Amino acid sequence: MTTNSDIPGIEDDTRPNAGRVYDFFLGGNHNFEVDRAVARKLLDVYPVLPRILRMLRWFLGFSIRRMLDEGFTQFIDFASGLPIQDHIHQIAPTGTRVIYSDKDEVTVAYAKKIVADNPDVIYLQCEANHPEKLLNSGIVEKMFDRNKKVAIGMSGISYFLPNEDLIHALDTLYNWARKGDKLFISELSEKDLGEEKKEGKPRLSQDLFAQMGSPFYYRTKEEFISMVPKWNLLPPGCQRCDEWLNLENFLSTDDDKEIFGPFYGAFFEK
Ligand SMILES: C[S@@+](CC[C@H](N)C(=O)[O-])C[C@H]1O[C@@H](n2cnc3c(N)ncnc32)[C@H](O)[C@@H]1O
C-alpha cells in the first residue's frame, strides 16, 4: 500500500481528500484514515452513496469500452479523479494514449505518482471549466497523433459546473475537436430526485456537497442538451445510467430506481 510519505504534496494526512474518499467508497486502498472518517460520516447520512458512485464508475467503464470498441486509441479526460478502479488506462490496451486531468492539486499529485511509470499516460492539473488551458498547452501535440480520432471524457463533472462554465467547456471542446472525435458525459437531473422526497434526509447536493465546497447544479435532460448545440447527440440520446448498464437486477426496489434515476449519460460526435 502507498504511504503518505510516498506522495509529494500530501504528507499532511490531517486533511481529507475527495478523490481518496471516492476511492474508499469504490473499495480501493488509496485512502487514509482521515478519508475513511469522512466517508463514515457521509455513510451515516447517506448509506446509498457507495452504490451511486459505483454505478457512475461502471458507466465510466462502459463509456471507455464503447470508445475502445469503436477503435479509439487516444483519450483526453477531464475531472478524472484518481486513475484507479477501472479507469481508462487500466481498461485500454497497452499503447492507448491517455491524458487525464483534474482541478484538485492533491488528487493531481497523488495521481501523477500512480501513473508515473506509464509512458502512454500523463496526468495534468486543469479545471474542466477551462479546457483550453490543457488543449493549448502543447501536451496534446506531444501525446497524440491528431490524424487519429480522440475520445473526450467529461464523466462525473458537468453537475459541478455552473451553466455558463459548462457551455463554455463543451463549446471549446467542440471547436478543438476534429470530425469523428467523440465526447462522453454523465449528468445529474433534478427531476425525480428521490432523496428530496424523504423527510429527515438532507439533500445530498445542496447540503453535504455545498458544505464541502462543491455545490451541485441540476439540469433537466432538455436543459443539458440545449447546452451542447453543436455536438451531435448520438442515438438513443440521453439515457439513465442504469438503462445504459442494464441494471434491472442491481436496482431491485422502486426506491432504488428512484435514487439512481437522476443520473444519466450521453455520447456525442463531432
Ligand atoms: C465524481 S469525481 C469523477 C471522477 C471520474 N471522472 C468518474 O467519472 O468516476 C469528480 C472529480 O471532479 C473533480 N473536479 C471537481 N470540480 C472540478 C473542476 N471544476 N474541474 C476539474 N475537476 C473538477 C474533483 O476533484 C473529483 O476528482
Strand partners, 184: 153, 267
- For residue 79, report the distance from its CA to the centre of ligand 1, in Å: 4
Residue located nearest, by CA, to atom 14 of ligand 1: 79
Query: pLDDT of 220-256, one tens digit each?
Result: 888 899 999 999 999 999 988 888 988 877 666 666 6
- For residue 9, report the distance from its CA to the centre of ligand 1, in Å: 19
What is the model's pLDDT at position 93? Answer: 96
- Contact of 191 with 197, CB cutoff 8 Å: no
Query: pLDDT of 85-118, one tens digit each?
Result: 889 999 999 999 999 999 988 889 889 999 999 9
Res. 17: pLDDT tops 90: no
What is the C-alpha separation between 35 and 23, in angstroms, rounded? 9
Whose cell is 438532507? That residue is 202
Res. 186: pLDDT tops 50: yes
Which CATH number describes the domain made up of 49-269? 3.40.50.150
- For residue 117, report the distance from its CA to the centre of ligand 1, in Å: 23
Res. 7: pLDDT tops 70: no
Rg of the chain over Cα atoms, rounded to whole angstroms, equals 18
> Would you call the peptide bond into 8 cis, given omega within 30 degrees of 0 as the criterion?
no
- For residue 156, report the distance from its CA to the centre of ligand 1, in Å: 6
- For residue 82, report the distance from its CA to the centre of ligand 1, in Å: 9
Q: End-to-end distance of the chain based on CA atoms, in angstroms?
A: 42
Consecutive H or E run containing 47: none
Domain ranges of the chain: 49-269
Exposed (0-12), middle (13-18) or buried (19+): which is 98, by Cβ within 10 Å? buried
Query: For a substitution probing ligand 1, which of 88, 134, 157 has the most ligand atoms within 8 Å of its CB?
Result: 157
- Contact of 114 with 82, CB cutoff 8 Å: yes
Res. 270: pLDDT tops 60: yes
Residue located nearest, by CA, to atom 5 of ligand 1: 80
Res. 5: pLDDT tops 60: no
Res. 205: pLDDT tops 80: no
Query: pLDDT of 48-93, one tens digit each?
Result: 788 888 888 999 999 999 999 999 999 999 999 889 888 999 999 9
Cell of 34: 482521515
What is the C-alpha separation between 221 and 226, in angstroms, rounded? 9
- For residue 155, report the distance from its CA to the centre of ligand 1, in Å: 8
- For residue 44, report the distance from its CA to the centre of ligand 1, in Å: 23
H-state helical runs in the chain: 18-25, 33-45, 49-69, 88-91, 105-115, 131-135, 139-143, 163-176, 210-211, 221-226, 241-244, 254-260
Q: Any idea what DSSP says for residue 4?
A: G
Query: pLDDT of 134-167, one tens digit each?
Result: 999 999 999 999 999 999 999 989 988 999 999 9
CA atoms within 13 A on the CB side of 28: 23
What is the C-alpha separation between 152 and 213, in angstroms, rounded? 26
The closest of 16, 119, 139, 25 to 76, measured between CA atoms, is 139
- Contact of 250 with 177, CB cutoff 8 Å: no
- Which residues contact ligand 1 via a Cβ below 6 A? 18-19, 22, 56-57, 60, 78-81, 102-104, 107, 127-129, 155-157, 160
Residue located nearest, by CA, to atom 27 of ligand 1: 81
- Closest ligand 1 atom to residue 60 Cα is 8
